[in-house]
Chain A
Amino acid sequence: MPALAREVGGDDTAGRLVRLFTLTGGRTRPSRTDFTLITTVTAVDPPPERAPRPQPEQARILRRCARPIAVAELAAHLDLPVSVVAIMLCDLLEAGLITVHPPHPVTPRTPDLDLLQKVRDGLGRL
C-alpha cells in the first residue's frame, strides 16, 4: 500500500492545479465555512425553478448528492480536493440547489452523554 501522505511533483500536478482553479473560477477559499469534511449535503429535488442551469461539474455533484452524502465522501468519489468541492458547494447552496446538514456539534467542555451512548451501542453491535 502506498504511503498515505505521498507527494506528487512536476507537470501533472501543475496541470491539475490549473484545472482545479478553473473549476472554482480562480477562488481558493469558499465564501462561507459551512462545509466541514463530515457536513452532509443533499440535492434539492426538484430543483427550484429560478435556479440557473448547473455547469457540467455542478451537475456531477448534484447527481452524487441525490441522497445525503458527506463532503469528504463526495470529494473522494469525484476525485477532487475537499477545498475545491467546498467552493463549488457554496455556489450550489447559493443557487438553492442543495441543502446542508452540519455535523453533530461536539464541544470538549460539555460532552453529550446521550450521543456517546448511541455511538457506544452502535460499536457494540458491530
Chain B
Amino acid sequence: MAGSETTVEAVAPPDTVKILIAGGFGVGKTTMVGSVSEIAPLRTEEPLTVAGLGIDDLNGIEEKQATTVALDFGRITISRELVLYLFGTPGQQRFWFMWNDLAIGALGAVVLVDVRRPESSFAAIDFFERRGIPFVVGVNGFHGEHPYPAEDIRDALALPADVRVLLCDARERESCRDVLIALVDQLIVAAKTA
C-alpha cells in the first residue's frame, strides 16, 4: 500500500459487473482470465463444508474429509466508475452447484471449447441455454491451430444462430479481448431487439 496514511482521499466505489468464463475441465478458462486481466488472476478457496453443505457447528469437522473448491478471477477497469470482473468457473462437473450462484447477476458468459474435444463443453453450453443466460463460444485452438471453421463447430455443438462462435487462442490477450467484445456486441444486439 503506497501513500501516506493520513491523507487517504475518499474514492467513490465503482459499479461492478461480471462475465463468466466457463467450459469443460482444462479447456483454458484460467488461461483466458489471465490473458485479459489487468491483475494476475486471483484465487479464493472455499471449503465445501462452509460453502453450504449444511454444517452448522464444529462437531464432527475433525473427522470430515474436507474438500476445497477454488475460484479464480481477474479484473478489467472499464472506467473510474465501472469495473468488469471475469470469473473462471470450476471445471469439474461435481462443483457445478457453484455455477448457479456465480451466474446470478452476470452479464453473460464465454463458453470455451477445446477444439480437440468439443464434447467436454457440451454440459456448460446446456447450463447457460437452460437458464437463458447469454453466451458466446470461444474455440480455443490449442497450439494455435484451428483445423475446423467456426461454422463446423457451430453445427457440431448444435448452437442456435444468434450465438456467436469465435476461433481464439486463450493465451493471447487480443484474441481473448475480441471474444469478450463479441459477447458484449451480442448482448447489445439482443438489447436493441428486445
Contacts and interface: CB of A to CB of B under 8 A. Distances in A.
Given A21-B58, A103-B16, A119-B107, A126 B76 contact: yes
Nearest to B34: A1
Contacts, number: 193
Q: What DSSP secondary structure best describes chain B's contact surface?
A: mixed
Interface string A84-118: 10000000000000010101111010111101111
B133 interface: yes
Interface residues of B, number: 79
Given A83-B50, A106-B106, A4 B44 contact: no
B29 A4 contact: yes
Contacts of A6: 68, 70
A123 B61 contact: no
Interface of A: 1, 3-10, 13-14, 16-18, 20-21, 26, 28-29, 36-40, 42, 45, 63, 66-68, 70, 72-73, 75-77, 80-84, 99, 101, 103-106, 108, 110-113, 115-124, 126
Interface of B: 1, 8, 10-18, 25-26, 29-31, 36, 42-47, 49-52, 55-58, 61-73, 75-79, 82-85, 87-88, 90-92, 95, 102, 104-107, 132-134, 173, 177, 180-181, 184-185, 187-188, 190-192, 194
